[in-house]
Amino acid sequence: MSGETLTSSEYITHHLQNLTFGRGADGAWGLAHSAQEARDMGFWSFNLDSLGISVLLGLLFLLLFRWVAKRATAGIPGGAQNFVEWIVEFIDGAVKGSFTSRNPLVAPLALTIFVWVFLMNLMDLFAIDHGPKLAESAGLHFFKLVPSTDPNVTFGLALSVFALVLFYSVKVKGIGGFLAELTLQPFQAKSLAMKIVFLPVNLFLETVNLVAKPISLSLRLFGNMYAGEMIFILIAVMYGAGLVLGSFAGLLHLGWAIFHILIITLQAFIFMTLTIVYLDMAHAEHH
């Protein structure tokens, strides 16, 4: 971007593009220099900015909680210990309220999802130009700071949860019980003939319901965060439209940033809660 004057459309497109690494049309592996090059790289490409920021935030979460745990005292706790204990108690209460079975994995998983997704969402509060300017100083063309605005990240999280749902559905109910759950409801009958008639209908409906879980889980997070980032970009465009619009943009920026704190927290909470609910459904046996 150095030395270039971008139109509003080019500015928006530039700030929505990930730093993509993959195999180009010429067969060589490298970084995409345009949105078209990134698209041409296809499925087997990597958004290095999303992966890098996600990993760094995950490590930050682990190191912070480990540091607090190693320094925890039974006496009067410090501010960091109070904060971590509050988060743990909050997650523990959410799990107890939504998960009716016993599984030692669910609470740590819920804690990880909530904090990790919150931290990824929190990156949206950084100035929208920081990522591209950081990339420019390093000789890169693109860089996005918010991993949860990348559908690859949200789908990766949702599919991981979906894999756990399938695993526990089979482990708790057995193959037979899981297949029965897919074929013998919601339409039920006492006669064998009607059960056979309802079987394909039930299988279709339950399969759609099952597959819809990771799709809705991922798209809900992605859609809300992508829309929030787009609003920040549009506000940033207004800064270059003169003193009056620039001043108004400053007020909009402050107001939207304050409101966005609620959004990023709520989206992390919803993702965590639905994960708990889906795992609870996977542990529940239908008779």
Domain boundaries, the chain: 8-283
Residue written as token pair 């067969």? 27
> Residue 181 — very low, low, confident or very high, per pLDDT cuts 50/70/90?
confident
Q: Let me know if 23 is a catalytic residue.
A: no
> Residue 211 — very low, low, confident or very high, per pLDDT cuts 50/70/90?
very high
Of residues 113 and 240, more confidently modeled: 113
Catalytic residue among 34, 103, 160, 220, which?
220
Q: Let me know if 160 is a catalytic residue.
A: no
pLDDT tens, 43-95? 889 999 999 999 999 999 999 999 998 888 877 777 888 889 899 999 999 99
In whole angstroms, give the CA distance from residue 168 to residue 278: 10
Which of 235, 153, 240, 166 has its CA nearest to residue 207?
A: 166
Of residues 79 and 220, more confidently modeled: 220
Q: Let me know if 224 is a catalytic residue.
A: yes
Catalytic residue among 121, 148, 169, 224, which?
224
Of residues 137 and 218, more confidently modeled: 218
Which of 119, 172, 150 has its CA nearest to residue 283?
A: 172
Catalytic residue among 101, 209, 216, 247, which?
216
Q: CB-based contacts of 216: which residues, under 8 Å, 6+ apart?
A: none
Taking the model in full, what pTM does it have? 0.89
Residue written as token pair 């682990």? 62
CB 124 within 8 A of CB 200: no
- Average pLDDT on 152-174 reads 94
Determine the residue type at 83.
Answer: F
